[in-house]
Each structure stands twice: as C-alpha cells, then as structure tokens.
Structure 1
C-alpha cells in the first residue's frame, strides 16, 4: 500500500473539514498561550511517517489465521461468560490478526495460545485503565500478586470464579509445556516488568503525579505498561527460539527489546491513543504540531538506535546467531504487527485508518472541545 506524503491539497481539505474524527483532546491546556497564532483554527495535525525504516516492510499473516479466528472468538466469549453482542464487539478488535502478525510462522496450537494471551492482557489491563483497580493501589497490588502466583504451584482455578485469572493460568499451563526453563523464567520476568509498570502508573494517577513527570520518566513508565516485553517471550515460545538468558541479557538484545517497546508507545502517541505525553510537551510551551514533530524525531531516533544495536551485536557462532536473528525479528514483528493492526481494525482510527495513513493527517476536535480521547 503506497503512503505518499500529504500535499497542500490534503492539508487544506483537512483544515476545512467539519468532522472532528478521532479526538486528541486536552493536548493543549485551555489556559495555555498558543505558540503559533493559527493554532486555534487548525483542525488537523500532521503525524510522523510510521511506516519507514524497519517498519517499511509489509508484515506476513500467519496462514492459520482464518481457522483460528472464529474458534478463538467463540472460545473467549464463552470463557468470559458474555453474550453474543459482547462477542461480536470483541471480534472486531481482531486480536487474532494482531497475534498472526507477531508470530507468522507459528503452528496452529501456538497461535491459539498467543491469541488467548492477547485477549487476556487487554481484558486484564482494562481493570487498571478504567475499571475498579484504576483508583485503588492496594487492590491493584493484590490482583497482581495473585496473578504472579499463578505461574507457581497454585492449584487449578475454577473458570466461573474468575475468568481472567483462569485464562492466564490456562495460558501458562500451555506455555510451559514447550518452553525451556530459561524461557519460563523469562516469561515470568517479562510479566513482572509489565505488572510493575501498571503499579507505578496506578500510584502516579492516585497521587496526581502522572503528568508531572519528565518525557524520559514518562517513556520509562509506558515502556513497562504496554506489555510488549512479554509479547516477545510469547513469540519465542511460538517460534521455538532457543536462547539462554545470558545471550538475551546482552545489551544489544536488550536494546532491541527497548526500541521495540518505544516504537509501540510512540505509535500510540502519534495516533492520539495516549495523550499524556502530548500534554507534558504542550505544558512545556510547544504547540500540538510541535509536540507531534518531537514525537516524530523520537521515532526516527528509534530507527538509528536499532541499527546501532545490530552493529554492536557480537558474533556467537552459527547456531546461536541463527536464534539471535529470530529473536531480533520477533522484536521487530511485535512492533510492526501492532502498527498494522492499529490501522486495520479500526480500534483507534475508526473508518479513517486508510485515509490517515495516506495523508498522515489526523483530525483534532473542534477548537475548545474537550472530553475523553
């Protein structure tokens, strides 16, 4: 799919549009002085090129996608004890498509496990974003402690008692059948990073400090909360990647993990999914477009950091190097899959995904409009 840069006609069309489309609310505080006089009239912002450099290749969809998706949709609706209306809505999120891009070479069983994990993390995460755990740090800690314990010697749970915990225990039981002891420990460690990030976010929100952080502090927190580290461990399982922990701990591989997470975070920021960093930047006196341009610079920096990480990679020998290349590609596929999924499913952009990608113009709300993004 070609993605030409927006021309002046696209910009004029965007500025004159009366439809607000996707909202990017609260990006500029009401009482802030606009850096550019025309800011109040602008109805669009030009987003960075998200499909360049290591994101320029087209992803491969797992060949089992069409068989697994209908099964997975019915299965999760039953597990969550929901009705057909809920199932139809959940199906549109198409977590099977996301999973298929992450693990294009996985067999059908492994793909089902990855889909189940994506279902789990989104429903688990909802409790902390907008659910009952979003404003209760003690309850959030308790839920995380109980979930971590499921990767120990906990007895089997009853599905009806807590579907989300049962789902995670089921995923873990399938995962450990194929995973080496090193990978099992890595899976636990990657989830601890995710859980610690959630707790940091909950505490910051509870104390009203979420937007009082520096850009670097905010990126460090978000890197943990998006769960992409654990996604790579899933990809290792699904593709049978065999690496000892001492290899994965090498700075170059750790950099690949970090860059992959940063690309997903910055993509969410560019598409208006997460407006918090935009708010931090505009509080520093930047206009909305200047804040978006700064995000674009950070994305380009991720690409440079990626190639530097590869250049600093040691040569371990044929057998290990082959597995390392698979690991590096797994990191890239997680970021690339998340990007394509965001545009295809309409989860973030509604029906505007193709047009936003073609023009790189994202609609903003009418001047003075505020509300949830």
Structure 2
C-alpha cells in the first residue's frame, strides 16, 4: 500500500502508519495452564455450532481462526470435561452471537436479547424457533444441572447487562459518537461479555459461593480489575482491525479524542492502564476478609480463575487469528503493528 493514498482515520492525529504494542505479557506473572481436554472440546463445540445451519459461509471459516477452544482451555484449566465443554460452547456462541442472530443493529439487538433472556429465564417453557434461542436453551439446560443457584442468577443478570450495553453501543456507533473515557469504561465493562464468564468460573469449578461473598467490595473489585485488563487489552489488540472499518467504539480513539494524543501515545496510555489493572488485581487480594476455611478455600479457587482469565486472554490474543491474522507469533515478539488501510465504506458488525 502506498502511504500517500491512505486515508487517515479522522480521529488519528498522526501520520504514523505503525505503532508498538505495550508488553503486557511480561507484566503478567501468573502461571499459564492449558486443560488437557482442549482438543476434545474444540471438536465437540464445532459439531454443536455447525449443527444444521447455525453457522454458514464466512462465519464457519472464522470459527477455525478464532481458536475459542484454546481460550477456554487456558481460562478454565481445572474444569472437568463436561463443564469445560459448556464453557467453550458459551464462549464460542458469544463470539458468534451476531452471526447467530440475524442482525445486530439496535432493533436486532433487542430482538436477540428477548429471545436469549427468555430462553435463560424459562429454559423449559419458552420456545423460540430462532437458532440463537435453541442454542441458548441447549447450553443453559446443561448448565443448571450442576450450577449453584447463585451462579445461575449471576450468569443471567450479567448477560442481561451485556445486551443493554450492546444496544447502547449500537446507538453510539450509528450516531458516530465517541464517548468520554469514564462513560466508555462503564459501558465497556458490560459490552465485553466478561461478567457471565466470571459466573462460569463458579460453574466450572463447582463452587457455591454465598451472595454476601460475591457482593463484597473486594471481590467485586477483583472481578472488575480482571474485566478491565481483558477488555482494555482487547481494545489494543483489536484496534487495527477496528480502525480499518472506521469503528470508534474502542478505548484508543476515546483516549486520543479526550486527551488529544497521537496514536502511539494513546496506545501507551491504555497499555499503562492495563498494567495498572494487573497490579490492582494483585493489590486488592491483600484486603480480603475471611469467611471461614471452606468459603475461603472456594473463594481462592474463584480468584485463581480470574487470574487464569488474565494470563489466558493475553496469550490467546496472539494465538487467535482474530486480531493479527496468521502473524500472531511474530507480533508477540516484535510488538510492531502495521496499520491496515481504511476500507472504502464502514461495514456493519
């Protein structure tokens, strides 16, 4: 591509056509573990996802490059096969939600939300012919066999927040609005879809943690620090693909817009926020109260599950083809990103 002909995104205040990623992998000292069930869940979920016409055309090809099975195996390394398989079904379904529902504009989002949430609240009595409804009922009926009532409740509630925030995101996108950083952070904590995945940590490890424990400010802060690291680092990793589509719902344009920074400075700014989120996660653990031996032991498993998500998501981001195509390994070592040219017209998600 000739640099003279590239249309710089209006938000970009720099002519630079490349940027350097922050070194988040080195900043994270948690042990990376991978479940031995990885291959098996990958095969089983694929059969489930491709059943009938659930996923067709390009979406099928994208499935292989996604490597969701690897993410699941890294984020829930201690789960038994049955639980791991369900976590993988959910994560894969979450990535493909807009392919599984017909349209994710604002009306499409609320239609999808109604089908999904009714399928979760009434898994045995609500019937929708939509494929997203069938798939939701299928995995949730399996989940409720062993998930504690609290984990089920948290899963449904946080998934509800996800849909509300995605609807808001679709409105922002339609109006081409770039929110301020604070509003963006609040919204992003829900659009990420991380919170239901935290409920799956409880499910995957057969935990039954009381509401008062899960609602404790320190436990909430740990979940929030993890969510922030996963989502903000994701904004850095996905920025190149998103800027090529003219999508501004990403922390980097938000920071450039608000702080008046050039691209590299904004990337560094968000990178420092990511490092601070990891430090915050470690620091907050010093303030945990004790609830007695059994609860403390279960809570430690849950917190380890959050740490698995931090380290797992960071490494997976270079293994999946979602952000760096087939160059992930190379990017992981060089950390240099060449900006993609802007596409002629912004394509909808």
TM normalised by structure 2 equals: 0.86
- Tell me, yes or no, if the aligned pair for 1:25 and 1:369 is still in contact at 8 Å: no
Tell me the residue number matched to 1:258: 224
> SS state of the match for residue 45, structure 1?
strand
Find the partner of 2:268 among 268, 286, 293.
293
Pick closer, same or farther for the CA change 1:193–1:84 going to 2, 3 Å. Answer: closer
- More deviation, 277-286/42-51: 277-286
- Aligned equivalents of 1:116, 1:326: Cα separation in 2: 22
- Aligned equivalents of 1:69, 1:24: Cα separation in 2: 40
- Aligned equivalents of 1:162, 1:127: Cα separation in 2: 9
Structure 2: segments with no counterpart, 5+ residues:
none
- Tell me, yes or no, if the aligned pair for 1:77 and 1:84 is still in contact at 8 Å: no
User: Which residues in structure 2 correspond to 1:1-373 (within 5 Å)?
Assistant: 26=9, 28-29=11-12, 34=13, 39-40=14-15, 42-53=16-27, 55-82=28-55, 87-126=60-99, 132-134=103-105, 137-155=106-124, 161-206=129-174, 208=175, 210-211=177-178, 213-271=179-237, 272=239, 276=248, 277-284=251-258, 285-365=260-340
- Tell me, yes or no, if the aligned pair for 2:21 and 2:335 is still in contact at 8 Å: yes
Pick closer, same or farther for the CA change 1:67–1:260 going to 2, 3 Å. Answer: same
> SS state of the match for residue 268, structure 1?
helix
Structure 1: segments with no counterpart, 5+ residues:
1-17
- Tell me, yes or no, if the aligned pair for 2:151 and 2:200 is still in contact at 8 Å: no
TM normalised by structure 1 equals: 0.81
- Tell me, yes or no, if the aligned pair for 1:28 and 1:288 is still in contact at 8 Å: no
Pick closer, same or farther for the CA change 1:217–1:100 going to 2, 3 Å. Answer: same
> SS state of the match for residue 208, structure 2?
coil
Pick closer, same or farther for the CA change 1:183–1:280 going to 2, 3 Å. Answer: closer
Deviation at 1:244, TM superposition (A): 0.7
- Aligned equivalents of 1:181, 1:24: Cα separation in 2: 52
Pick closer, same or farther for the CA change 1:328–1:68 going to 2, 3 Å. Answer: same
- Aligned equivalents of 1:157, 1:24: Cα separation in 2: 49
> SS state of the match for residue 177, structure 1?
coil
Deviation at 1:27, TM superposition (A): 7.0
Deviation at 1:155, TM superposition (A): 4.2
Deviation at 1:280, TM superposition (A): 2.5
| Higher RCO, 1 vs 2 (CA within 8 Å, ≥6 residues apart) | 1
> SS state of the match for residue 362, structure 1?
strand
Structure 1: which 4+ aligned runs deviate by more than 3 Å? Answer: 79-89, 125-128, 154-159, 368-373
- Tell me, yes or no, if the aligned pair for 1:127 and 1:133 is still in contact at 8 Å: no
- Aligned equivalents of 1:216, 1:363: Cα separation in 2: 29
- Aligned equivalents of 1:309, 1:27: Cα separation in 2: 39
